[in-house]
Amino acid sequence: MKPFPRPHSFPGAPVWRTVLLSCLLPLWACCHTIKVTEPKRSITEQFLLSSAAEHAIQQADLSALHGRKVYFEERYFKSYDKRYVLGAIREHLARNGALLVSTKEDAETIVEARSAGLGIETRESLVGIPALALPVPLAGTLQTPELSLYKSVKAESAARFALLSYDRASGSFVHSTGGISGAAHFHHYKLLGFFDWRDTDVPELDPKFRARMGKATK
């Protein structure tokens, strides 16, 4: 009796193997993921806060301190991202001609900084059906996808600081900036779930700016 042919000897077997691999490869690709470690705070939040702070500091007129030996007093300043903001104030003092010294004894003028606030407000609007958590008996909950005709997410940051300057020896008033304010925004819009665009005054959050910077570094 002639032996039954093995599967690999069937006519057309290579074709079937090719078809089978073609079907499995996309499934493998869909399941393959790369884990990226993310910081606790988003880059959007950090840039919005730092930009609002910078815009506020730039409003300060410090011409009265030009040529003076200045000691920058930090202990009265309490704010989010404190170290960055204080560094930006010190830079602004130096750029305006103040001579920064490291001890009070070497200073003619003391500059104190204080913060009225630095933060972000976020608003979201949706025309459509939001994502819902539906209870499933014996299986927990099922999260339904969001179905949106139009959606907008608006994040806006604001900062308000003040700088007081006085004579170290006598304690007499020298200069005050009063309240100096700054703001920044990042708005994200989506239409029909496919078309999306952004509006921001923070260059680093603009996709076009990122694309230009990416080309410049190549």
What pTM did the predictor assign? 0.76
Per-residue pLDDT tens over the stretch 129-188 = 888 888 888 778 888 888 889 999 999 999 999 999 999 999 999 999 999 999 999 999
Whether the pLDDT of residue 4 is over 50: the answer is no
More confident residue, 199 or 38: 199
Q: Could you state, in order of their start, the residue ranges of all structural domains in the chain?
A: 41-216
Mean pLDDT, all residues of the chain: 86
| Percentage of the chain lying above the pLDDT 90 cut | 63
Confidence of residue 16 (pLDDT cuts 50, 70, 90): low
The whole-number pLDDT of residue 143 equals 83
The CA-to-CA distance between both ends of the chain, in Å, stands at 70
Sequential DSSP letters for 153-173: EEEEEEEEEEEEEEETTT--E
Bridge partners of 141, per DSSP, are 135
Whether the pLDDT of residue 112 is over 50: the answer is yes
Architecture of the domain delimited by 41-216? 3-Layer(aba) Sandwich (3.40)
Confidence of residue 84 (pLDDT cuts 50, 70, 90): very high
- CA-based nearest residue to 185, from 115, 120, 88: 120
The whole-number pLDDT of residue 129 equals 86
Tell me which of 30-39, 156-165, 184-193 is least confident: 30-39
The whole-number pLDDT of residue 208 equals 81
Distance from C-alpha of 196 to C-alpha of 88, rounded to nearest angstrom: 34
